[in-house]
């Protein structure tokens, strides 16, 4: 995996480019001179954890022949100082499922993603306590 990062202005607006040419912007907090024009790196880390797990969960529920009409996840991260850095110590992911999804299968899909499949979560779990919850809205 290879990412190239290019500076787009005289402050902190950055463009990351992957091997396929796909791009994403990041910026810094206005408190340190950023323009707040894009996600901050730590926000991207939470988004990556949520995206990674949702991909896993969709695949697992599909294999279980569950009718999943939609899925959303809200991620909250709490940071604490570690030297000069502020790292995530607690992360909570709350999933919302729409469709005809069995609660036990949804719970198992989340568990499998967290404990086995999601590389981002596996990376974060060494420093952060990660919890999950979910609800199902039948449609």
For 28-73, give the DSSP string: --GGGT----SB-HHHHHHHHHHHHHHHHHHHHHHHTT-EEEEEEE
28 and 82 share one domain: no
45 and 24 share one domain: no
pTM exceeds 0.85 for this model: yes
Instruction: Judge contact between 128 and 72, C-beta under 8 A.
Output: no
92 and 110 share one domain: yes
27 and 90 share one domain: no
53 and 108 share one domain: yes
Q: What is the span of the domain harbouring residue 10?
A: 3-32
12 and 49 share one domain: no
Condensed to tens digits (0 to 9), the pLDDT of residues 21-58 reads 999 999 999 999 999 999 999 999 999 999 999 999 99
């Amino acid at each position: 995996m290879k990412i190239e990062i290019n500076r787009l202005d005289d402050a902190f607006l950055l463009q990351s480019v992957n091997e396929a040419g796909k791009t994403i912007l990041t910026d810094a907090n206005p408190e340190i001179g950023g323009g707040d024009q894009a996600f901050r790196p730590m926000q991207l880390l939470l988004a990556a954890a949520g995206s990674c797990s949702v991909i896993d969960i969709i695949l697992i529920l599909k294999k279980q022949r569950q009718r999943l009409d939609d899925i959303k996840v809200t991620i909250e991260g709490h940071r604490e100082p570690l030297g000069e850095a502020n790292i995530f110590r607690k992360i909570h992911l709350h999933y919302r499922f729409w469709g005809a999804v069995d609660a036990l299968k949804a719970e198992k899909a989340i568990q499998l993603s967290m404990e086995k499949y999601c590389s981002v979560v596996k990376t974060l779990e060494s420093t952060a306590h990660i919890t999950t919850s979910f609800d199902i809205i039948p449609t």
